[in-house]
Structure 1
Amino acid sequence: MPTQAGVIAIARRVRPGCEADFEAAIRGVSLAASTFPGYVGSEVFYPPTRRGEWQLILRFDTPAHRQEWENSPICQGWIARADALTEPPQVSRVNGLEAWFALPELPYTAPPPQWKTMVVSAVGLYPIILVLPTLLRPATNGLPIWLATLVNISIMMPLMTWMIMPQVTRLFKPWLYPGTTNQALRNNKKYEKSDVAP
């Protein structure tokens, strides 16, 4: 998903008796975030028990827009309100090539080890590097090598980001996220998911 580079995932455990206030707070956060540039949507994952972990996913189209929201006085005010109702949060952010390995069905999962991402990236890159220059050769044959390379990369990177890597990551999901995949599937059956996108 192109929005993954601007995702922030927040997990909190609510203090006993504060659940209703916290639910109102996270809906307020989502509504406030929706007024900021680059906002794409948000999701709330409710815990199976009142003492469980609540998760809020906010999606922006770029890391810069995400950071603009996080640095705003409005966001800081909501954070202060949430802090009064919860234990210290766990926060994760996705930037750069880590976004290639982010899956919507595993919204709060650490990236795989770098050596695994290197192997899977090579699997995705190899056919593109092998085939794309040949396909583009009629259009780039008369161009300087630096310009022909730029054309190849300009087409290759969007293909990798939005078409190739999401499919390759799903193909290798059991290997990239061993154990976590089954746990996430079990959690998805327990959690009530609320889409609070505008």
Structure 2
Amino acid sequence: MTTILRETSARDPLVLVSTWRAHPGHEADLEQRLTDELDAVLLHEAGVPDYHLVHRFADRGAMRRWLDSADRDALHDELAGIAERVGEPERLSGLEPWFTAVGKPPKWKMWLASFVGAYPLVVLFQWLAAPHVEHLPLLLRAALLPLVLLSLMTYVMMPVVTRVLGGWLAR
């Protein structure tokens, strides 16, 4: 697995994706142990040996606390007997984690899923907000749409879109 690092603000939400491969005969043990990990989501496709553990963090500090924690060390010690970590964890931010969580679909599917999420927000913005900001200077008015759109896409729409379209995105 390739490590993906992006320059982000210390306050940007982050996702850390670790991949584990069970030792033969320990698949059920690994799945059970990773499922018991309450602060993460387990992604596994039947017939594929890799299990992806997805942790979401509010910011870089929260991620750093987890990476340096005794709980993480204990989890890794426990898993060492039944699995091996594949590559280094991937650190993602912005909209990227929503697509990585469903298996890195082709760009055209990511584009279409983003469009499905963005289009209703643009229509709502034009209907509800645009008439009330016509008097503002162009640069300020132009900044409002991406500010509102990107915030809502990251925190509201993409979790819903990727959950609804997850099976199609992963195919």
Pick the TM interval, shorter chain: 0.5 to 0.7
1:81 and 2:77 matched: yes
Match of 2:3 in 1: none
Q: Residue 16 of structure 2 contacts residue 54 of structure 2 at CA under 8 Å; is this kept in 1?
A: yes
1:69 and 2:66 matched: yes
Deviation for aligned residue 1:176: 1.0
Deviation for aligned residue 1:89: 0.9
Question: Secondary structure of 1:88's match?
Answer: strand
TM-score (norm 2): 0.59
Look up the equivalent residue of 1:153 and give its one-letter code.
Answer: P
* Contiguous gaps of at least 5 residues in structure 2: 1-11, 44-48
Match of 2:20 in 1: 11
Look up the equivalent residue of 2:167 and give its one-letter code.
Answer: P
1:119 and 2:112 matched: yes
Superposition RMSD on alpha carbons, in Å?
A: 4.1
Mark the CA change 1:93 to 1:4 in structure 2 (over 3 Å): closer, same or farther: same
Mark the CA change 1:114 to 1:82 in structure 2 (over 3 Å): closer, same or farther: farther
Match of 2:144 in 1: 151
Question: Secondary structure of 1:121's match?
Answer: helix
Deviation by residue 1:95-130 (Cα, 9 ceiling, x = unmatched) = 32223336xxxx6x5221223202221232233224
TM-score (norm 1): 0.53
Deviation for aligned residue 1:148: 1.5
Match of 1:95 in 2: 93
Question: Secondary structure of 2:20's match?
Answer: strand
* Contiguous gaps of at least 5 residues in structure 1: 31-39, 46-51, 179-198
Using the alignment, how far apart are the partners of 2:79 and 2:63 within structure 1? 20
Deviation for aligned residue 1:58: 3.4
Look up the equivalent residue of 1:152 and give its one-letter code.
Answer: L
Question: Secondary structure of 1:136's match?
Answer: helix
Count of aligned residue pairs for this structure pair: 151
